[in-house]
Structure 1
Amino acid sequence: MTVRRDVHEELRARLHEAAGGHEPDRENILARVERGMAGPAASAHRATRPPVFGWMRVAGATAAVAGVLAVGGYAVASAVKDETAPRQQEVATSPTPTPSPEATSRAPVPPVDPTPTSSPERRESAAPPSGKPSAPVTARPPAATEDGPLWSDGSVDPHSNDFWAQSNITIKTREELTALTVRLSVAQTGGVSDAGAWRSLPENDFTLTVGERDGALVYTWTLKEGRKVPAGEWVFAGQFDHDRGGRDAGKDRYTVTAAAGSDRLSVDGGFAAVDNEGDEDDAGGDS
Protein backbone atom coordinates (compact mmCIF):
# COMPACT_ATOMS: atom_id res chain seq x y z
CA MET A 1 0.00 0.00 0.00
CA THR A 2 2.87 2.39 0.72
CA VAL A 3 4.59 1.77 -2.65
CA ARG A 4 1.38 2.37 -4.64
CA ARG A 5 0.73 5.58 -2.74
CA ASP A 6 4.27 6.86 -3.48
CA VAL A 7 3.82 6.16 -7.25
CA HIS A 8 0.51 8.04 -7.34
CA GLU A 9 1.97 11.01 -5.52
CA GLU A 10 4.97 11.12 -7.91
CA LEU A 11 2.63 10.97 -10.97
CA ARG A 12 0.49 13.79 -9.61
CA ALA A 13 3.58 15.89 -8.97
CA ARG A 14 4.82 15.41 -12.56
CA LEU A 15 1.43 16.22 -14.09
CA HIS A 16 1.20 19.28 -11.93
CA GLU A 17 4.65 20.39 -13.08
CA ALA A 18 3.84 19.68 -16.74
CA ALA A 19 0.54 21.59 -16.52
CA GLY A 20 2.31 24.60 -15.08
CA GLY A 21 4.97 24.69 -17.83
CA HIS A 22 2.71 23.93 -20.82
CA GLU A 23 1.88 26.86 -23.11
CA PRO A 24 -0.02 25.90 -26.29
CA ASP A 25 1.44 27.46 -29.57
CA ARG A 26 -1.75 28.55 -31.26
CA GLU A 27 0.00 30.24 -34.20
CA ASN A 28 2.09 27.18 -35.00
CA ILE A 29 -1.02 24.96 -34.95
CA LEU A 30 -2.92 27.31 -37.29
CA ALA A 31 0.09 27.52 -39.65
CA ARG A 32 0.22 23.71 -39.87
CA VAL A 33 -3.48 23.64 -40.65
CA GLU A 34 -3.09 26.24 -43.41
CA ARG A 35 -0.15 24.34 -44.91
CA GLY A 36 -2.23 21.22 -45.09
CA MET A 37 -4.99 23.07 -46.80
CA ALA A 38 -2.60 24.60 -49.34
CA GLY A 39 -1.68 21.17 -50.88
CA PRO A 40 -2.78 19.83 -54.34
CA ALA A 41 -5.83 18.13 -52.91
CA ALA A 42 -6.91 21.40 -51.41
CA SER A 43 -6.53 23.18 -54.80
CA ALA A 44 -8.67 20.60 -56.54
CA HIS A 45 -11.34 20.83 -53.98
CA ARG A 46 -11.35 24.60 -54.16
CA ALA A 47 -12.05 24.39 -57.89
CA THR A 48 -15.15 22.24 -57.46
CA ARG A 49 -16.49 23.31 -54.01
CA PRO A 50 -17.62 26.67 -52.73
CA PRO A 51 -15.13 28.64 -50.59
CA VAL A 52 -17.37 28.29 -47.55
CA PHE A 53 -16.37 24.64 -47.02
CA GLY A 54 -12.71 25.62 -46.63
CA TRP A 55 -13.50 27.93 -43.79
CA MET A 56 -15.64 25.25 -42.16
CA ARG A 57 -12.62 22.92 -42.19
CA VAL A 58 -10.49 25.60 -40.55
CA ALA A 59 -13.13 26.19 -37.89
CA GLY A 60 -13.51 22.46 -37.27
CA ALA A 61 -9.75 21.98 -36.86
CA THR A 62 -9.61 24.93 -34.50
CA ALA A 63 -12.44 23.50 -32.42
CA ALA A 64 -10.67 20.12 -32.26
CA VAL A 65 -7.45 21.73 -31.04
CA ALA A 66 -9.38 23.68 -28.41
CA GLY A 67 -11.08 20.47 -27.30
CA VAL A 68 -7.73 18.70 -26.93
CA LEU A 69 -6.37 21.59 -24.91
CA ALA A 70 -9.49 21.63 -22.72
CA VAL A 71 -9.32 17.89 -22.03
CA GLY A 72 -5.65 18.13 -21.18
CA GLY A 73 -6.21 21.04 -18.85
CA TYR A 74 -9.11 19.24 -17.15
CA ALA A 75 -6.96 16.15 -16.59
CA VAL A 76 -4.14 18.22 -15.10
CA ALA A 77 -6.59 20.16 -12.92
CA SER A 78 -8.15 16.94 -11.69
CA ALA A 79 -4.75 15.55 -10.76
CA VAL A 80 -3.83 18.72 -8.92
CA LYS A 81 -7.21 18.81 -7.17
CA ASP A 82 -6.80 15.21 -6.01
CA GLU A 83 -3.39 16.10 -4.61
CA THR A 84 -4.51 19.16 -2.68
CA ALA A 85 -8.03 18.16 -1.59
CA PRO A 86 -8.25 16.50 1.80
CA ARG A 87 -9.34 12.90 1.83
CA GLN A 88 -12.80 12.25 3.12
CA GLN A 89 -13.19 9.69 5.84
CA GLU A 90 -16.14 7.36 5.96
CA VAL A 91 -17.78 7.14 9.37
CA ALA A 92 -19.99 4.17 10.12
CA THR A 93 -23.14 5.15 11.98
CA SER A 94 -25.45 2.75 13.77
CA PRO A 95 -29.20 3.04 13.18
CA THR A 96 -31.20 4.93 15.73
CA PRO A 97 -32.65 2.38 18.20
CA THR A 98 -36.41 2.17 18.48
CA PRO A 99 -37.50 2.72 22.10
CA SER A 100 -39.38 -0.22 23.57
CA PRO A 101 -42.73 0.26 25.35
CA GLU A 102 -41.18 -0.89 28.65
CA ALA A 103 -38.50 1.79 28.45
CA THR A 104 -41.14 4.54 28.34
CA SER A 105 -43.51 3.08 30.92
CA ARG A 106 -41.06 2.21 33.71
CA ALA A 107 -40.14 4.69 36.38
CA PRO A 108 -36.42 5.44 36.65
CA VAL A 109 -34.63 3.17 39.10
CA PRO A 110 -32.72 5.14 41.75
CA PRO A 111 -29.03 4.27 41.94
CA VAL A 112 -27.88 2.07 44.77
CA ASP A 113 -25.89 4.05 47.30
CA PRO A 114 -22.85 1.92 48.23
CA THR A 115 -22.24 4.06 51.30
CA PRO A 116 -24.26 2.80 54.28
CA THR A 117 -26.31 5.43 56.05
CA SER A 118 -25.19 4.15 59.40
CA SER A 119 -22.78 1.65 60.81
CA PRO A 120 -24.04 -1.84 61.82
CA GLU A 121 -23.46 -1.00 65.46
CA ARG A 122 -25.59 2.11 65.19
CA ARG A 123 -28.43 0.28 63.43
CA GLU A 124 -28.53 -2.38 66.11
CA SER A 125 -28.74 0.18 68.92
CA ALA A 126 -31.24 2.48 67.19
CA ALA A 127 -34.69 2.69 68.73
CA PRO A 128 -37.68 1.39 66.68
CA PRO A 129 -39.78 4.02 64.82
CA SER A 130 -42.47 5.72 66.85
CA GLY A 131 -45.88 4.06 66.61
CA LYS A 132 -44.34 0.65 65.71
CA PRO A 133 -43.36 -1.12 68.92
CA SER A 134 -41.04 -4.05 68.48
CA ALA A 135 -42.54 -7.53 68.88
CA PRO A 136 -41.77 -9.12 72.22
CA VAL A 137 -39.25 -11.94 72.06
CA THR A 138 -40.19 -15.03 74.02
CA ALA A 139 -37.07 -16.65 75.39
CA ARG A 140 -36.89 -20.42 75.61
CA PRO A 141 -36.71 -21.46 79.27
CA PRO A 142 -33.54 -23.26 80.29
CA ALA A 143 -33.67 -27.04 80.26
CA ALA A 144 -31.79 -27.40 83.57
CA THR A 145 -32.67 -25.50 86.74
CA GLU A 146 -31.81 -25.83 90.43
CA ASP A 147 -33.38 -24.94 93.72
CA GLY A 148 -31.41 -25.81 96.87
CA PRO A 149 -30.76 -29.55 96.96
CA LEU A 150 -33.06 -30.16 93.93
CA TRP A 151 -31.86 -30.04 90.34
CA SER A 152 -33.78 -30.86 87.14
CA ASP A 153 -33.27 -31.13 83.39
CA GLY A 154 -35.60 -31.66 80.37
CA SER A 155 -34.57 -33.36 77.14
CA VAL A 156 -35.99 -35.12 74.07
CA ASP A 157 -35.01 -38.79 74.04
CA PRO A 158 -32.56 -39.65 71.22
CA HIS A 159 -34.68 -42.67 70.23
CA SER A 160 -37.55 -40.42 69.09
CA ASN A 161 -38.48 -40.70 65.41
CA ASP A 162 -40.76 -39.17 62.76
CA PHE A 163 -43.92 -40.67 64.32
CA TRP A 164 -43.14 -41.15 68.01
CA ALA A 165 -41.30 -39.20 70.71
CA GLN A 166 -40.33 -39.39 74.36
CA SER A 167 -39.71 -36.44 76.66
CA ASN A 168 -37.43 -37.08 79.65
CA ILE A 169 -37.39 -35.18 82.95
CA THR A 170 -34.33 -35.92 85.06
CA ILE A 171 -34.20 -34.84 88.70
CA LYS A 172 -31.32 -34.99 91.20
CA THR A 173 -31.76 -34.48 94.90
CA ARG A 174 -29.10 -34.35 97.57
CA GLU A 175 -31.71 -34.80 100.31
CA GLU A 176 -34.61 -37.15 100.91
CA LEU A 177 -37.93 -35.81 99.53
CA THR A 178 -41.15 -36.24 101.44
CA ALA A 179 -43.32 -34.77 98.69
CA LEU A 180 -42.87 -34.71 94.92
CA THR A 181 -45.02 -33.77 91.94
CA VAL A 182 -43.66 -33.92 88.38
CA ARG A 183 -45.75 -32.43 85.54
CA LEU A 184 -44.92 -32.74 81.78
CA SER A 185 -46.82 -30.54 79.27
CA VAL A 186 -46.50 -31.57 75.58
CA ALA A 187 -47.79 -28.89 73.18
CA GLN A 188 -50.34 -30.08 70.63
CA THR A 189 -48.33 -29.64 67.42
CA GLY A 190 -50.49 -32.04 65.43
CA GLY A 191 -51.50 -35.62 66.10
CA VAL A 192 -50.05 -35.65 69.63
CA SER A 193 -51.61 -38.52 71.61
CA ASP A 194 -50.63 -40.56 74.67
CA ALA A 195 -48.43 -43.60 74.00
CA GLY A 196 -47.33 -44.47 77.54
CA ALA A 197 -45.25 -43.22 80.49
CA TRP A 198 -42.71 -44.55 82.98
CA ARG A 199 -40.41 -43.46 85.85
CA SER A 200 -37.26 -44.96 87.40
CA LEU A 201 -38.81 -44.91 90.91
CA PRO A 202 -41.23 -47.65 92.05
CA GLU A 203 -44.54 -47.51 90.20
CA ASN A 204 -46.63 -48.10 93.30
CA ASP A 205 -45.20 -45.00 94.95
CA PHE A 206 -46.84 -42.63 92.42
CA THR A 207 -50.21 -41.75 90.98
CA LEU A 208 -50.17 -41.00 87.21
CA THR A 209 -52.79 -38.93 85.38
CA VAL A 210 -52.81 -38.10 81.64
CA GLY A 211 -55.16 -35.62 80.00
CA GLU A 212 -55.64 -32.67 77.62
CA ARG A 213 -55.36 -29.19 79.10
CA ASP A 214 -55.05 -25.78 77.36
CA GLY A 215 -53.96 -27.27 74.01
CA ALA A 216 -51.40 -29.64 75.48
CA LEU A 217 -51.10 -33.27 76.54
CA VAL A 218 -50.28 -33.26 80.28
CA TYR A 219 -48.64 -36.07 82.27
CA THR A 220 -48.66 -35.73 86.10
CA TRP A 221 -46.79 -37.99 88.57
CA THR A 222 -47.67 -37.43 92.24
CA LEU A 223 -45.85 -39.11 95.15
CA LYS A 224 -48.35 -40.91 97.35
CA GLU A 225 -48.72 -39.73 100.92
CA GLY A 226 -46.36 -41.48 103.29
CA ARG A 227 -43.92 -42.45 100.55
CA LYS A 228 -40.46 -40.91 100.21
CA VAL A 229 -37.91 -40.31 97.43
CA PRO A 230 -34.33 -41.07 98.48
CA ALA A 231 -31.41 -38.87 97.51
CA GLY A 232 -30.13 -39.68 94.02
CA GLU A 233 -30.91 -39.23 90.30
CA TRP A 234 -34.33 -40.20 88.88
CA VAL A 235 -36.07 -40.07 85.50
CA PHE A 236 -39.74 -39.44 84.54
CA ALA A 237 -40.67 -39.99 80.87
CA GLY A 238 -43.79 -39.33 78.79
CA GLN A 239 -44.27 -41.09 75.45
CA PHE A 240 -46.57 -39.87 72.68
CA ASP A 241 -47.36 -40.23 68.98
CA HIS A 242 -47.42 -37.22 66.61
CA ASP A 243 -47.82 -36.33 62.95
CA ARG A 244 -45.16 -37.54 60.58
CA GLY A 245 -42.00 -35.46 60.45
CA GLY A 246 -39.64 -33.78 62.86
CA ARG A 247 -41.51 -32.26 65.77
CA ASP A 248 -40.64 -28.95 67.42
CA ALA A 249 -40.53 -29.28 71.22
CA GLY A 250 -39.94 -25.57 71.74
CA LYS A 251 -43.32 -25.09 73.48
CA ASP A 252 -43.08 -28.15 75.74
CA ARG A 253 -42.62 -27.44 79.47
CA TYR A 254 -42.12 -29.27 82.76
CA THR A 255 -42.50 -28.31 86.44
CA VAL A 256 -41.28 -30.10 89.58
CA THR A 257 -42.40 -29.26 93.12
CA ALA A 258 -41.00 -31.05 96.16
CA ALA A 259 -40.51 -30.91 99.91
CA ALA A 260 -37.30 -31.70 101.77
CA GLY A 261 -38.08 -31.51 105.47
CA SER A 262 -39.60 -28.09 106.00
CA ASP A 263 -38.23 -26.67 102.74
CA ARG A 264 -40.50 -26.21 99.74
CA LEU A 265 -38.62 -26.61 96.44
CA SER A 266 -39.62 -25.84 92.87
CA VAL A 267 -37.86 -26.14 89.51
CA ASP A 268 -39.12 -25.89 85.90
CA GLY A 269 -37.84 -25.56 82.34
CA GLY A 270 -38.07 -26.59 78.69
CA PHE A 271 -36.59 -29.35 76.55
CA ALA A 272 -33.34 -29.65 74.67
CA ALA A 273 -32.60 -32.24 71.98
CA VAL A 274 -30.16 -35.02 72.82
CA ASP A 275 -27.94 -36.63 70.16
CA ASN A 276 -27.37 -40.36 69.92
CA GLU A 277 -24.28 -40.13 72.12
CA GLY A 278 -26.32 -38.70 74.98
CA ASP A 279 -24.92 -35.13 74.83
CA GLU A 280 -27.48 -32.38 75.22
CA ASP A 281 -27.82 -29.71 72.57
CA ASP A 282 -28.60 -26.40 74.24
CA ALA A 283 -30.16 -25.02 71.06
CA GLY A 284 -32.31 -28.09 70.50
CA GLY A 285 -36.02 -28.53 70.64
CA ASP A 286 -36.75 -30.79 67.64
CA SER A 287 -37.67 -34.37 68.20
Structure 2
Amino acid sequence: MNDEELSGRLREAAEAHRPDRARMLARIERGMAGGRPAPRSVRPPRAVRPWLRVAGATAAVCGVLAAGAFAATSAGDDGRARGGRVASAPSVTAKAPHSPAAKAPLRPEDGPLWTGGVVDPHSNAYWAQSNVTLRTTEPLSALTVELRVAQTGGVNSTGSWRSLPEPDFTVSVDESGGFLVYRWTLRPGRTVPAGTHTFAGQYNHAEGDRDATGDTVTAHAVRASGGEAAVGDRFGRSR
Protein backbone atom coordinates (compact mmCIF):
# COMPACT_ATOMS: atom_id res chain seq x y z
CA MET A 1 0.00 0.00 0.00
CA ASN A 2 1.45 3.30 -1.08
CA ASP A 3 1.09 6.61 0.66
CA GLU A 4 -1.76 7.79 -1.54
CA GLU A 5 -3.87 4.70 -0.73
CA LEU A 6 -3.12 5.06 3.07
CA SER A 7 -4.23 8.68 3.06
CA GLY A 8 -7.44 7.82 1.23
CA ARG A 9 -8.40 5.16 3.80
CA LEU A 10 -7.72 7.50 6.73
CA ARG A 11 -10.04 10.10 5.23
CA GLU A 12 -12.77 7.52 4.72
CA ALA A 13 -12.42 6.35 8.37
CA ALA A 14 -12.59 9.93 9.65
CA GLU A 15 -15.68 10.72 7.64
CA ALA A 16 -17.36 7.51 8.85
CA HIS A 17 -16.71 8.36 12.58
CA ARG A 18 -19.62 9.94 14.48
CA PRO A 19 -18.90 10.98 18.14
CA ASP A 20 -21.39 9.81 20.79
CA ARG A 21 -22.52 13.26 22.03
CA ALA A 22 -24.83 11.83 24.70
CA ARG A 23 -22.00 9.86 26.31
CA MET A 24 -19.77 12.89 26.37
CA LEU A 25 -22.43 14.99 28.14
CA ALA A 26 -22.96 12.24 30.68
CA ARG A 27 -19.23 12.24 31.56
CA ILE A 28 -19.29 16.02 32.02
CA GLU A 29 -22.33 15.84 34.30
CA ARG A 30 -20.74 13.11 36.44
CA GLY A 31 -17.62 15.20 36.81
CA MET A 32 -19.61 18.23 37.89
CA ALA A 33 -21.68 16.17 40.33
CA GLY A 34 -18.46 15.04 42.09
CA GLY A 35 -17.58 18.71 42.84
CA ARG A 36 -14.22 20.41 43.16
CA PRO A 37 -12.31 20.04 46.40
CA ALA A 38 -12.68 23.08 48.64
CA PRO A 39 -9.62 25.28 48.59
CA ARG A 40 -7.39 24.90 51.66
CA SER A 41 -7.73 27.84 54.01
CA VAL A 42 -4.53 29.76 54.69
CA ARG A 43 -4.05 30.98 58.26
CA PRO A 44 -2.59 34.48 58.38
CA PRO A 45 0.70 34.91 60.22
CA ARG A 46 0.26 34.98 63.98
CA ALA A 47 0.28 38.56 65.21
CA VAL A 48 1.43 39.61 68.66
CA ARG A 49 -1.70 40.39 70.61
CA PRO A 50 -1.84 43.99 71.85
CA TRP A 51 -2.28 42.97 75.47
CA LEU A 52 0.90 40.91 75.25
CA ARG A 53 2.84 43.94 73.97
CA VAL A 54 1.43 46.05 76.81
CA ALA A 55 2.24 43.39 79.37
CA GLY A 56 5.79 43.11 78.06
CA ALA A 57 6.32 46.85 78.19
CA THR A 58 4.86 47.01 81.71
CA ALA A 59 7.16 44.24 82.89
CA ALA A 60 10.17 46.08 81.45
CA VAL A 61 9.22 49.33 83.20
CA CYS A 62 8.65 47.51 86.49
CA GLY A 63 12.08 45.93 86.17
CA VAL A 64 13.75 49.33 85.73
CA LEU A 65 11.85 50.83 88.68
CA ALA A 66 12.71 47.84 90.87
CA ALA A 67 16.42 48.15 90.00
CA GLY A 68 16.32 51.88 90.74
CA ALA A 69 14.55 51.28 94.06
CA PHE A 70 17.12 48.62 95.00
CA ALA A 71 20.02 50.99 94.20
CA ALA A 72 18.48 53.82 96.22
CA THR A 73 17.70 51.50 99.16
CA SER A 74 21.21 50.07 99.11
CA ALA A 75 22.70 53.56 99.12
CA GLY A 76 20.49 54.75 101.98
CA ASP A 77 20.82 51.69 104.21
CA ASP A 78 24.53 51.03 103.89
CA GLY A 79 25.71 53.94 106.04
CA ARG A 80 27.84 51.77 108.30
CA ALA A 81 29.74 50.37 105.32
CA ARG A 82 30.64 53.95 104.46
CA GLY A 83 32.13 54.64 107.84
CA GLY A 84 29.37 55.35 110.37
CA ARG A 85 25.76 55.63 111.40
CA VAL A 86 23.15 57.16 109.10
CA ALA A 87 21.04 59.93 110.60
CA SER A 88 18.16 61.80 109.04
CA ALA A 89 18.97 65.40 108.16
CA PRO A 90 16.77 68.20 109.49
CA SER A 91 14.58 70.23 107.19
CA VAL A 92 16.39 72.48 104.75
CA THR A 93 15.94 76.20 105.37
CA ALA A 94 16.27 79.01 102.86
CA LYS A 95 19.43 80.66 104.23
CA ALA A 96 22.35 79.44 106.31
CA PRO A 97 23.04 81.38 109.49
CA HIS A 98 26.40 82.99 110.11
CA SER A 99 29.07 80.54 111.20
CA PRO A 100 32.71 81.14 112.18
CA ALA A 101 33.65 77.96 110.31
CA ALA A 102 32.57 79.59 107.03
CA LYS A 103 35.43 82.10 107.42
CA ALA A 104 38.08 79.51 108.23
CA PRO A 105 41.03 79.58 105.81
CA LEU A 106 41.47 76.62 103.43
CA ARG A 107 44.66 75.23 104.98
CA PRO A 108 44.55 71.61 106.22
CA GLU A 109 46.49 72.14 109.49
CA ASP A 110 46.58 74.71 112.27
CA GLY A 111 48.27 73.86 115.56
CA PRO A 112 46.75 70.66 116.96
CA LEU A 113 43.96 70.60 114.36
CA TRP A 114 43.92 68.97 110.88
CA THR A 115 41.10 68.31 108.41
CA GLY A 116 40.62 66.75 104.97
CA GLY A 117 37.69 66.12 102.63
CA VAL A 118 37.12 63.29 100.17
CA VAL A 119 34.15 61.82 98.32
CA ASP A 120 33.32 58.33 99.54
CA PRO A 121 34.27 55.62 97.00
CA HIS A 122 30.85 53.99 97.40
CA SER A 123 29.21 57.02 95.76
CA ASN A 124 27.52 56.43 92.41
CA ALA A 125 26.00 58.21 89.41
CA TYR A 126 22.94 59.34 91.42
CA TRP A 127 24.06 59.58 95.05
CA ALA A 128 27.19 60.60 96.93
CA GLN A 129 28.65 60.93 100.39
CA SER A 130 31.27 63.52 101.32
CA ASN A 131 33.58 62.37 104.12
CA VAL A 132 35.30 64.87 106.40
CA THR A 133 38.19 63.71 108.59
CA LEU A 134 39.12 65.84 111.59
CA ARG A 135 42.17 65.12 113.73
CA THR A 136 43.09 66.87 116.93
CA THR A 137 46.00 66.21 119.25
CA GLU A 138 44.29 68.12 122.06
CA PRO A 139 40.77 68.06 123.52
CA LEU A 140 38.46 70.74 122.13
CA SER A 141 35.96 72.72 124.16
CA ALA A 142 34.25 74.20 121.10
CA LEU A 143 34.00 73.01 117.50
CA THR A 144 32.05 73.89 114.38
CA VAL A 145 32.53 71.81 111.22
CA GLU A 146 31.00 73.04 107.99
CA LEU A 147 30.72 71.00 104.77
CA ARG A 148 29.73 72.97 101.66
CA VAL A 149 28.54 70.92 98.66
CA ALA A 150 28.31 72.93 95.43
CA GLN A 151 24.93 72.85 93.69
CA THR A 152 26.04 71.16 90.47
CA GLY A 153 22.50 70.04 89.61
CA GLY A 154 19.88 68.08 91.54
CA VAL A 155 21.89 68.20 94.79
CA ASN A 156 19.60 67.61 97.80
CA SER A 157 20.34 66.17 101.22
CA THR A 158 19.55 62.57 102.13
CA GLY A 159 21.13 62.56 105.59
CA SER A 160 24.29 63.02 107.65
CA TRP A 161 26.24 61.37 110.45
CA ARG A 162 29.32 61.75 112.66
CA SER A 163 31.50 59.32 114.58
CA LEU A 164 31.27 61.42 117.77
CA PRO A 165 28.23 60.99 120.07
CA GLU A 166 25.05 62.35 118.50
CA PRO A 167 23.81 64.15 121.68
CA ASP A 168 27.02 66.22 121.73
CA PHE A 169 26.18 68.09 118.51
CA THR A 170 23.49 70.16 116.90
CA VAL A 171 23.18 69.58 113.16
CA SER A 172 21.70 71.75 110.42
CA VAL A 173 21.43 71.51 106.63
CA ASP A 174 20.83 74.70 104.68
CA GLU A 175 20.99 76.03 101.12
CA SER A 176 23.02 79.20 100.73
CA GLY A 177 24.82 80.91 97.85
CA GLY A 178 24.66 77.92 95.50
CA PHE A 179 25.77 75.41 98.16
CA LEU A 180 24.16 72.71 100.28
CA VAL A 181 25.68 73.43 103.72
CA TYR A 182 26.00 70.81 106.46
CA ARG A 183 26.97 72.18 109.88
CA TRP A 184 27.88 70.29 113.05
CA THR A 185 28.25 72.42 116.21
CA LEU A 186 29.49 71.11 119.55
CA ARG A 187 26.98 71.80 122.32
CA PRO A 188 28.07 73.99 125.26
CA GLY A 189 29.66 72.02 128.07
CA ARG A 190 30.67 69.10 125.78
CA THR A 191 34.22 68.20 124.78
CA VAL A 192 35.77 66.63 121.70
CA PRO A 193 38.53 64.23 122.77
CA ALA A 194 41.91 64.07 121.08
CA GLY A 195 41.88 61.65 118.17
CA THR A 196 40.54 61.20 114.63
CA HIS A 197 36.86 61.90 114.00
CA THR A 198 34.59 61.66 110.96
CA PHE A 199 31.70 63.81 109.71
CA ALA A 200 29.74 62.93 106.57
CA GLY A 201 27.02 64.51 104.42
CA GLN A 202 24.89 62.42 102.06
CA TYR A 203 23.02 63.75 99.04
CA ASN A 204 21.43 62.93 95.70
CA HIS A 205 22.64 64.66 92.55
CA ALA A 206 21.93 64.83 88.82
CA GLU A 207 22.69 61.64 86.91
CA GLY A 208 26.29 61.17 85.83
CA ASP A 209 29.74 62.01 87.13
CA ARG A 210 29.65 64.93 89.56
CA ASP A 211 32.48 67.47 89.75
CA ALA A 212 33.25 67.99 93.45
CA THR A 213 36.12 70.45 92.96
CA GLY A 214 33.84 73.25 94.22
CA ASP A 215 33.12 71.47 97.52
CA THR A 216 34.92 72.57 100.71
CA VAL A 217 35.16 71.76 104.41
CA THR A 218 36.11 74.18 107.16
CA ALA A 219 36.44 73.76 110.92
CA HIS A 220 36.87 76.23 113.76
CA ALA A 221 37.82 74.97 117.20
CA VAL A 222 38.71 76.21 120.67
CA ARG A 223 41.23 74.14 122.58
CA ALA A 224 40.35 73.07 126.08
CA SER A 225 43.72 74.46 127.20
CA GLY A 226 42.98 77.78 125.52
CA GLY A 227 43.52 79.24 122.06
CA GLU A 228 41.71 78.81 118.74
CA ALA A 229 42.48 76.85 115.55
CA ALA A 230 40.90 77.08 112.09
CA VAL A 231 41.45 74.69 109.18
CA GLY A 232 39.93 73.94 105.75
CA ASP A 233 40.29 71.78 102.66
CA ARG A 234 38.92 71.37 99.12
CA PHE A 235 37.47 68.20 97.61
CA GLY A 236 38.61 66.55 94.41
CA ARG A 237 36.56 65.29 91.45
CA SER A 238 34.06 62.56 92.33
CA ARG A 239 31.79 60.14 90.53
Calculate the TM-score normalised by the size of structure 1: 0.46
Q: Are 1:286 and 2:225 counterparts?
A: no
* Other-structure match for 1:16: none
Shift in Å, 1:286: 2.1
* Other-structure match for 2:159: 196
* Other-structure match for 1:214: 177
Shift in Å, 1:209: 0.5
Structure 1 residue ranges (4+ consecutive) displaced by more than 4 angstroms after TM superposition: none
SS class of match (1:178)? strand
Contact 1:143 1:153 in 2 (8 A): no
Distance 1:226 1:143 in 2: 28
RMSD over equivalenced CA pairs, Å: 1.4
* Other-structure match for 2:202: 239
Percent of paired sites with the same residue: 55
How many correspondences in the alignment? 134
Q: Are 1:266 and 2:230 counterparts?
A: yes
Shift in Å, 1:203: 0.4
Distance 1:245 1:150 in 2: 35
* Other-structure match for 2:78: none
- The superposition leaves residues 232-263 of structure 1 with CA deviations (integer Å, 9 ceiling, x where unpaired) of 00000000000100100010111100011221
Gaps of 5+ in 1: 1-141, 273-284
Amino acid at match of 2:238: D
Q: In the superposition, relative to structure 1, how do residues 144 and 165 fare at CA in structure 2: closer, same or farther (>3 Å)?
A: farther
Match of 1:159 among 113, 122, 136: 122
Look at both structures and tell me which one has the larger radius of gyration over its CA atoms.
1
Contact 1:150 1:171 in 2 (8 A): yes
- The superposition leaves residues 46-74 of structure 1 with CA deviations (integer Å, 9 ceiling, x where unpaired) of xxxxxxxxxxxxxxxxxxxxxxxxxxxxx
Alignment of 1:28-43 (within 5 A): none
Alignment of 1:78-93 (within 5 A): none
Amino acid at match of 1:269: D
Contact 1:143 1:271 in 2 (8 A): no
- The superposition leaves residues 102-141 of structure 1 with CA deviations (integer Å, 9 ceiling, x where unpaired) of xxxxxxxxxxxxxxxxxxxxxxxxxxxxxxxxxxxxxxxx
Contact 1:143 1:154 in 2 (8 A): no
Gaps of 5+ in 2: 1-104
Amino acid at match of 1:197: S
Structure with larger RCO (C-alpha < 8 A, sep 6+) = 2
Alignment of 1:113-152 (within 5 A): 145-152=108-115
Amino acid at match of 1:169: V
Distance 2:121 2:238 in 1: 10
Q: In the superposition, relative to structure 1, how do residues 239 and 144 fare at CA in structure 2: closer, same or farther (>3 Å)?
A: farther
Contact 2:116 2:217 in 1 (8 A): no
